[in-house]
Chain A
Amino acid sequence: MACQGLGPNETLATLKTESETLKTKLEEERAKLHDAELHQVAEKVEALGQFIIKTRRTLKGHGNKVLCMDWCKDKRRIVSSSQDGKVIVWDAFTANKEHAVTMPCTWVMACAYAPSGCAVACGGLDNKCSVYPLSLDKNENLAAKKKSVAMHTNYLSACSFTNSDMQILTSSGDGTCALWDVESGQLLQSFHGHSADVLCLDLAPSETGNTFVSGGCDKKANVWDMRSGQCIQSFESHESDINSVRYYPSGDAFASGSDDATCRLFDLRADREVSVYSKDSIIFGVSSVDFSLSGRLLFGGYNDYTINVWDVLKGTRVSILFGHENRVSTLRVSPDGTAFCSGSWDHTLRIWA
């Protein structure tokens, strides 16, 4: 956003006053519309029954902490990355490994599958996001075809292809997000506004237009216009780092998971937090969140090794899933909603259904 010139009477003092006034006004506007709670509105909705979700596959092969994973659009392949620099592509149906690449850096914190299924992107402590085309020839050295796309000045925390293989959105420890052209490596747009490391991002469902949400160590979740680079909305109610953000399937809201041990739901049209998913007994941070297909269930992976399943409308926990032997670091529901995958510091990934 271009900064307009200062008016004749604008000084640091007048601007500070105006900023305080505007902040108060924003709070008042938001409070005026707070006429109900989500769980109150949803009182008459039938409660959910018993849940039988179990581990159906365990993917073993990483030699160290699994940090990130993503599903392929074909609903069966998965890419995962770990602390020891390995990126593995799996067939989740058979639990077989299809490809493996060793990155030149450790702590590969981000990985993503291209929409076509023909490439994966990953990065971490190397401050870059690189794209590897996947070859049908299992013997081919994937590392040889690697393409460096994004360059940040600090670690890469998350990456995602937009709705084509041609553009990648990244977030970084340098406090910015950026949109890149894969072919040329050119920076198309950068997003400034966070005052600390940006840890996560999620693109709005394609029907709802060109926006994305990011969360960071400044406890803020920001919604951005991809074309202009403008921050459209900002939410600040978490009490600690936001590790994960995910859009509600309709695109009108998003959930976040934080080190403050809560998950929260923010509605974009009401411009405020509308639900908090927490319990006194849950004291460990949430690393990763995702919705089921209808948005009724919110899955959260926690640092206490568990996965909590929340009823989004009623605000209650419907299930707690045990199985991982260390922190759950990443969690994604499959594209057709038949299962979800969790990755953990215990070196494994689990498919739950």
Chain B
Amino acid sequence: MNKFICFSLLHLIFSFTFLPVKSRENSATLIETTCKTTPFYNLCISALQSDPEGPSADIPGLARIGANKVKAKATATLRQIRASLKEAKDPSLKTALLDCVDFYNAIVEYDVPMAIDAVVKGDPKFGVQGLNDAANEALACARRFENLPKSPIEGNNKVVHDLSAVVASIIALLL
């Protein structure tokens, strides 16, 4: 009898040691499975896992985290555009940057807030649209620099675009 108790206790101990590790893997898996449905897996993983609430969030929560990251990145890019405008001498560069101010204002003031609103309130199609719009604004901005030697915001612009596409994809899971 004692041997039996001893054995089952040891058995229990070993299963307990694995349990916490297993549940950790499960919540990381929601981020993983969600990100697999998006067009930029690594970017998605990075954005969601780097948020402290990422691992425990549900899909609407992941969508909100992603949307907020888009907004933060777009806000930073807008600052960068304005800074570049101050230094720009070339008039066609100035025009391109001015256009991008409009596009990025749209992303920060309208697209992302509308998308978050839609996810929170449960009408996800407007969330998908909002982030698709954001991606398209970023694309429109990028195209402004086509005939210019270089774009001071190229990298950030691409991140905003790609991350918007990722979050639109995540919200589409809620449809």
- Note whether A and B form a binding pair: no
- List the interface of chain A (C-beta within 8 A of B): none
